[in-house]
Amino acid sequence: MSRPSIPQLALSRFPFYAIFLMNSATPLFPRYDPTGERPLTVGILVLDQTNMLSLAAAVDPMRAANRRAERRLFDWRFLTATDLPAQITAGFPITGQPIAAAEPPDLLLILASFRIAEQTTPALAAQIRRIARAGTALAGVDGGSQLLAASGLLDGLAATTHWEDLDDFAIRYPRVQVVRDRFRISGRMLTTGGASPCLDMMLHLIGRLHGRDLAARVASAFIYDPVQSGDAPQRLVPTATLARRDPLIARAIARLEADLDTPPSIANLAQSLGVSRRLFEQRFRAATGHSPHAFGLALRLSEARRLATDTDQPVQDIALATGFASHAAFARAFKAAYNISVSQLRRARGQRL
């Protein structure tokens, strides 16, 4: 029995190649010829409070591709929003060329994680639009999607951001078609949901430009398996291990995640999965250590806490978004879970900031 070739093995193990085949005709980089000698030029715009993992997910696949190909396929430089270095969350500065002085690259990666709104200045938005007009492909990593939207570059396009910010993103930018994908490519605009989806996106780009074999070799260098396709949904709860141990319970959790605003009854959830309520509750507790009701309530309250902390949504809207029929029921559950009210939490957070 013959062994599969590396490309055949890669096709079976790395589903992002299906995306590669579907999108290979899109002119992402109109000035770049991947068969030539010139490397793809990449600008990496790093904002203050960017997390280190997103930075590594953007840069290290290019470094590994250069090493595996034994030639310089990618040439990158760091950019900053102002004349000052960017202070990332790991505690050290990233020094780069101010974006106002940068020539448009083939690809601009915009990395942002926290305190995004205060850094989204009209001057920075103007520079991002200037680079876009030159035919550059732009990628928003994590909160970088919000800078693209604020610059007006995602109007009429499908885009994603980190799952914690999806609701607020949709409210702030109603002209953007917000999707829960890990990453999304719309024309020359790319957006990702965070660090791990950024790695998926970079592997996709490597495969698109330089072949499936190289992308698979780069993924294997990071022992990154399985690679997720762009349209795979972002998950609130990592369930990859659980899916192998008990696929039925993994599907139940996915349903609970998807229906935070209209949580299903335990009886209906069990029925939809084709098992009795008693068996469902036994398997759920065995798999998670919690009852399905307690687990679902914790999911909803965790999302409520995030909305209370990261958005300005009224408490009544948060209650409805997390499946509570009344403000009073929500307030009681929130206080019981966190020993603090939403208003107290917001005041405390404001004092810390």
What's the pLDDT tens digit per position in 145-180?
999 999 999 999 999 988 878 778 888 898 998 887
What's the pLDDT tens digit per position in 83-117?
999 999 899 899 999 999 999 999 999 999 989 98
- Which CATH number goes with the domain that contains 60? 3.40.50.880
Residue 10 placed within a domain: yes
Q: What pLDDT is recorded for position 228?
A: 55
> Are 22 and 169 found together in one domain?
yes
> Are 198 and 257 found together in one domain?
no
> Are 212 and 344 found together in one domain?
no
Contact at 8 Å (CB) between 341 and 335?
yes
Q: What pLDDT is recorded for position 353?
A: 40
Q: Name the pLDDT band for 19 (thresholds 50, 70, 90).
A: very low
> Are 185 and 298 found together in one domain?
no
> Are 245 and 199 found together in one domain?
no
Residue 188 has pLDDT above 90, yes or no: yes
Instruction: Determine whether 2 is exposed, middle or buried from the number of CB atoms within 10 Å of its CB (0-12, 13-18, 19+).
Output: exposed
Query: What's the structural domain count of the chain?
Result: 2
What's the pLDDT tens digit per position in 256-298?
888 889 999 999 999 999 999 999 999 888 887 888 898 888 8
Residue 66 has pLDDT above 60, yes or no: yes
Residue 115 placed within a domain: yes
For the segment 222-231, the average pLDDT, to the nearest whole number, is 63
> Are 268 and 194 found together in one domain?
no
Residue 226 placed within a domain: no
> Are 311 and 188 found together in one domain?
no
Question: Which amino acid, 227?
Answer: V
Residue ranges making up the domain that contains 339 = 240-352
> Are 91 and 132 found together in one domain?
yes
> Are 181 and 273 found together in one domain?
no
- Name the one residue in this structure whose structure tokens are 């409805």: 320
- Which CATH number goes with the domain that contains 253? 1.10.10.60
Residue 294 placed within a domain: yes
How far are the Cα atoms of 27, 128, 146, 166, 345 from residue 135, in angstroms, in the given order?
10, 12, 20, 27, 45
> Are 20 and 80 found together in one domain?
yes
List the beta bridge partners of residue 109. Answer: 44, 139
Least confident residue range of 17-31, 115-129, 139-153, 236-250:
17-31
Of 155, 189, 221, at which residue does a domain stop?
221
For the segment 205-223, the average pLDDT, to the nearest whole number, is 89
Q: Which of 10-14, 77-81, 238-242 has the highest mean pLDDT?
A: 77-81
Residue 6 has pLDDT above 50, yes or no: no
For the segment 182-196, the average pLDDT, to the nearest whole number, is 90
- Name the one residue in this structure whose structure tokens are 């062994």: 3
